[in-house]
Amino acid sequence: MKIDLDFNSLINRLNFREQMLFFITIMVALTVLPYMLLYRPTWLKSEAMKVEIKNKEIQVKQKEDLAKVLKLKAQVNQEREKRKRYLRDFSELLGFIGQEARKQKIELLYIKPKELSTTEGGSKEENLAELMMRGTYNSFYNFFKDITSSHYLIGFQSLQIINNIKDYPGLTAQAVVMAVYVKK
């Protein structure tokens, strides 16, 4: 038995309907095979790359956000430490003022924190302390001379020295301490 594989004779033996089905099958195979072998794998790779790029962008954004949060946290901690150090210096200053007043035999009537006030520019003045003391002219002179020559730089928002108040005979000084810096 001999098999004849001549394409023309094979096509000629088919009727018109079979020829059309054969032609459509060949056309489908010629379009689907390149799609399946060439285009689809490339398209799947590009889609996978798009997803990977999007994930990387999300990771970068998360890292940037984390960096911002860590930077803000560091700033907050730095401000907190600065505030603690400032409050410690301020409380040391108030103790120093009390010690110098006792040394000059000035009676401290009170030292109390002053309420925070807002200046015209909108900034708040913090760490204000109001103090009232009673003594003589010489004791006040020596007191202010001693605190100006100390290792603290003290700013006074106001200072009033009043003579002969009914309740407190002698000189009475009322002051608001507004700034403190430790001289290095």
Split the chain (184 residues) into runs of 10 and give each run's mean pLDDT.
66 84 89 83 88 93 93 89 72 81 87 64 61 84 84 76 69 73 54
Residue 94 pLDDT = 78
Token pair of 176, please? 């608001």
Name 168's Cβ contacts closer than 8 Å, sequence gap at least 6: 109, 134
SS3 26: helix
DSSP bridge pairs for 171: 135, 163
Residue 181 pLDDT = 59
